Structure 1
Amino acid sequence: MIQGSMVALVTPMQADGALDWKGLHKLVDWHIEQGTHAIVAVGTTGESATLDVDEHLEVIRKVVDQVHGRIPVIAGTGANATSEAIELTQAAKDAGADACLSVTPYYNKPTQEGLFLHHQAIAKAVALPQLLYNVPGRTGVDMAPETVARLAVVDNIIGIKEATGDMERARWIVQNTPDDFLLISGDDLTAVELMILGGKGDISVTANVAPAAVAKMCELAIAGQAAEARAIHEQLLPVHNAMFVESNPIPVKWAVAEMGLTADGLRLPLTPLSEKYHAQVREALRAAGLL
């Protein structure tokens, strides 16, 4: 089963925006050594929006090759055109990904029926386990829990990354979907509470800088050890907050560079972390014992 700490992996880049393949290999191995349970390649944090299709698929292939079956690889394959999402999902399957993460179509604002038909079409076209991804703050469209329940019984759809932070919604999804349907947090600030309600993991930005702690936190929360999981959450709270002082992945890219893990490369329209936030992010890392 795919569960636990699933790092929303940054895509390492040089200062000029060129992809840093050596840095990517280094990050993958480091995450496995630190206990990360799965890797999400080319999601939002992986800057999918500024990679071209060839780069997008090459990152997936290289992550799969480097992981070499040690932990699951979940490939970001969402698009706002159903045909494109199907093509990306098929390519991810061909590359050897274990599952895909398919964001709700953005900008064109489909209806709930459109969301259902979009994800159903992907699941029917490609025999690869699919995690739905609901993040209305970025996409401009919110997949209603009732639509999630309809999709939960479609073959190849195995779960959802729910990033609203809404615990009542999380509770409803747990109660109204099959027992083997995976509810995964997409919000580090509320991930522990979602797992205590019955969620099975966290697709985490913070795991980029604190993989061992996030992995332990997830293990404890899934096992029902609420007090112990909440204690780790409290220790990581300054980091959770620091990772969103500007748009993701700007702060986390700066943080992994500050830790000496990668270069601090981004592509426009993203820009480097504003200097006024450097001290806050650095202090959050230091307080969590990461520097």
Structure 2
Amino acid sequence: MIREKLRGTGVALATPFTKELAVDYGALRKLLEFVLEGGVNYLVINGTTAESVTTTTDEKAEILRFIKQEVNNRVPLVYGIGGNNTQHVLDTIAETDLHGIAALLSVSPYYNKPSQQGIYQHYVAIANASPVPVILYNVPGRTGSNVTAETTLKLAVHENIIGTKEASGNLEQCMYIARHKPKDFMLLSGDDMLAVPMASFGAEGVISVLANAFPEKFSRMMQLALTEDFKAAAELMLSFVDINPMMYEEGNPVGVKAVLERFGVCTAAVRLPLVEASSGLKDRLYKLL
């Protein structure tokens, strides 16, 4: 049941800020309606794109409450809780109101570079403690360590772990997972530009940054891929080739917030240590748009 709900395009929501860097709830409401009208299948809250490392505990709680109220069960919600201190992650899960949340997205421990056994035990502890299903998140470019296919498959048999967001960029690793995973374990792309190729060998969707700014086009691309119309899906995918690198050139969500500002959804403001898109990046983005 949950697997079907989380099929397709999940948008890794940005957190709009005012120019004074307070959470801008008016702009957040606008962003929610923008992506929902664009046809995304579900929302991912408090992930990397949300600048979760620089929002406070109180802000996180209020953002979650606000989004639940605004969305009002129109689409499923996935909530990000992860970290490199396992006990702190468990404490955060216990302290967070997860009523109405379809699943947790939990990033692999970063910075301290645990062994594969450490990663395995970390996720087992989270899955055992979580009142909602857990999705693994492998992003070696941010964490400094890879969750191997073998570790992912070992975790896939846990009854409360339902899938993985694979952002390793390693298609061979993703294919190995697709080949050997349990039938009801979800493989999700964590890389916008690999979503269509991954769908061709069994991925069931994507958690996307680009879908903040291009929800309709990106959702259509993903639906075409999932119905095996890969020629049409590839045409849409290739239309993102020029803009996608600009999303990350000065850090995420710097690029996508610059686009959202251009579209009148929210400001381009981000919190330190990120800085707002440079005039050069904005000029190139706007010219491309």
TM over 0.5: yes
Distance 1:91-1:257 versus aligned 2 partners, 3 A rule: farther
Structure 1 position 22, deviation (Å) = 1.4
Structure 1 residue 213 corresponds to structure 2 residue 217: yes
Counterpart in the other structure of 1:185: 189
| Residue matched to 2:148 | 144
Q: Does 1:69 align with 2:69?
A: no
Partner of 1:27: 31
Tell me the TM-score normalized by structure 2.
0.95
The answer to whether the aligner puts 1:18 opposite 2:22 as a matched pair is yes
Aligned to 2:89: 85
Equivalent-residue separation in structure 2 for 1:98 and 1:260 (angstroms): 30
Amino acid at match of 1:228: A
Per the alignment, in what secondary structure is the counterpart of residue 88 of structure 2? helix
Specify the code of the residue in structure 2 equivalent to 1:165: G
SS, match of residue 165 in structure 2: strand
Code of the aligned partner of 1:204 = S
Q: Which secondary structure state, in structure 1, belongs to the residue aligned with residue 258 of structure 2?
A: helix
Tell me, in whole angstroms, the C-alpha distance in 2 between the residues paired with 1:154 and 1:101. Answer: 15
Residue 55 (structure 2) aligned to one of 48, 51, 58? 51
Query: Could you give the per-residue CA deviations for residues 39-89 of structure 1, whole angstroms, max 9, x where no partner exists?
Result: 111100000110112212222222122111111111111111112222333
Q: Which of 208, 227, 233 is 1:223 aligned to?
A: 227
Partner of 1:273: 277
Residue 132 of structure 1, CA deviation? 0.4
**Conserved? CA contact 1:57–1:91, under 8 Å:** no
Aligned partner of 2:12 in structure 1 is: 8
% same residue: 38
1:37 equivalent to 2:41? Answer yes
Match of 2:116 among 112, 125, 146: 112
Q: Are the equivalent residues in 2 in contact too, given 1:98–1:129 (CA < 8 A)?
A: yes
CA RMSD of superposed structures (Å): 1.3
Opposite residue 56 of structure 1, the aligned amino acid is K
Using the alignment, how far apart are the partners of 1:91 and 1:60 within structure 2? 13
In structure 1, the residue matched to 2:174 is 170
Tell me the amino acid that sits aligned with residue 265 of structure 2. Answer: L
Q: CA deviation at 1:94?
A: 3.0
Deviations 1:249-268 (A, max 9, x none): 11111111111001222111
User: Does structure 2 retain, via aligned residues, the 8 Å contact 1:162–1:183?
Assistant: yes
Contact 2:268 2:277 in 1 (8 A): no
- The aligned amino acid for 1:104 is S
Q: Is 2:263 aligned against 1:259?
A: yes
The one-letter amino acid of 1:114's match is G
Question: What residue number does 1:250 align with?
Answer: 254
- Distance, in Å, in 1 between the alignment partners of 2:223 and 2:168 is 22
Aligned residues of 2:9 and 2:222 also touching (Cα < 8 A): yes
- Of 131, 138, 149, which residue of structure 1 is paired with 2:135? 131
Q: Secondary structure at the match of 1:14?
A: coil
Q: Distance in 1 between matches of 2:41 and 2:95?
A: 23
1:26 is displaced (CA, Å) by 1.6
Unaligned runs of 5+ in 2: none
Counterpart in 1 of 2:287? 283
Q: TM-score, normalised by structure 1?
A: 0.94
CA contact (8 A) 1:206 1:239 kept: no
Amino acid at match of 1:180: D
Name 1:289's counterpart in structure 2: none
Judged with a 3 Å threshold, the aligned counterparts in structure 2 of structure 1 residues 201 and 90 are, in CA distance, closer, same or farther, namely: farther
Asked if the contact 2:135–2:161 (Cα under 8 Å) also holds between the matched residues in 1, the reply is: yes
